[in-house]
Amino acid sequence: MFGEDVAPTFLPCTRQAAVISGRERRNGADMAVKSRGRRAFIGGVVALAATFLVGGVQIVVSGPADAAATAARVVRWVDGDTVETTQGTVRLIGIDTPERGACGSAAATRHAQAIAPAGSRVVLGNPASVIDRDKYGRKLRYVATPTGRDLGLAQIRDGARARYDSRDGYQWHRREAQYHRADASHQDFACTGGTSTGATGGTGATAAPVDGECPASAPIKGNANSMIYHLPGQQYYDITEAEECFATAAAAEAAGYRAAKI
């Protein structure tokens, strides 16, 4: 049946079973590796998708290297580009508003407060291309409202400048071109003839304070954090550090301030 020169080979049953079992184990191991690979791939896709959603809000990110967005609440605005949050002090990426006491500072702070007032929820974006903190220890982040409104872009449209990016020696960020386009078509915060102006149109006879004090020509002290103005002679006038100075109460109220009660 098998021919004269070929002897049939029969393995004992136990050895045949061992060979078959070994093949099954190898096949099973291969399938397990493939299964783990598929699960890892799917898990990576899910992790990437998670970076797009924070509290149900869609956040646009440039790629999987970006850290996930973080939810926070506003504690107070220090000025138009720096905000204290429940996640720490944050410096908005890629913009620059006037420093405290300079013309336009109060207007920039008011605009930020109007969009994201104290106690409101914000979303902090952390692009991978930008360092985590600046030299003052502030976190560098995009800041957006829960509806997705970008505070940096909104400030530029109101009068802030697009700065601190790859065009002036800092890190590139993905909204850089958009910010510069907006900056080119919107007027910066400026002082013209003693008037502090911004794109929001708020004006008033003002003067810049010096070391927190107002000049005799505009003695009314405006506190941008509380949006209260103090008249000379009032109880807290001397201890109030002015952030904006007004010549008249009407000018202060036109800029959005309210009078101190005492």
Tens-place pLDDT, residues 217-257: 889 998 876 788 999 999 999 888 887 788 888 888 877 78
Report domain extents, the chain: 67-188, 204-259
pLDDT tens, position by position, 168-212: 999 999 999 999 999 898 777 655 434 444 443 344 467 777 777
Copy the structure tokens of residue 73.
């609440």
Task: Supply the pLDDT for residue 207.
Answer: 75
Give the predicted TM-score (pTM) of the model.
0.53
Model confidence at 261, pLDDT cuts 50, 70, 90, reads: confident
- pLDDT tens per residue across span 26-41: 555 454 444 454 444 4
pLDDT reported for residue 206: 73
179-194 core/surface letters (b: 16 or more CB in 10 A; e: else): bbebbeebebbeeeee
Q: Among residues of the chain, what percentage have pLDDT more than 70?
A: 68
Q: CATH second-level architecture of 67-188?
A: Beta Barrel (2.40)
Q: Which residue would you say has higher pLDDT here, 217 or 85?
A: 85
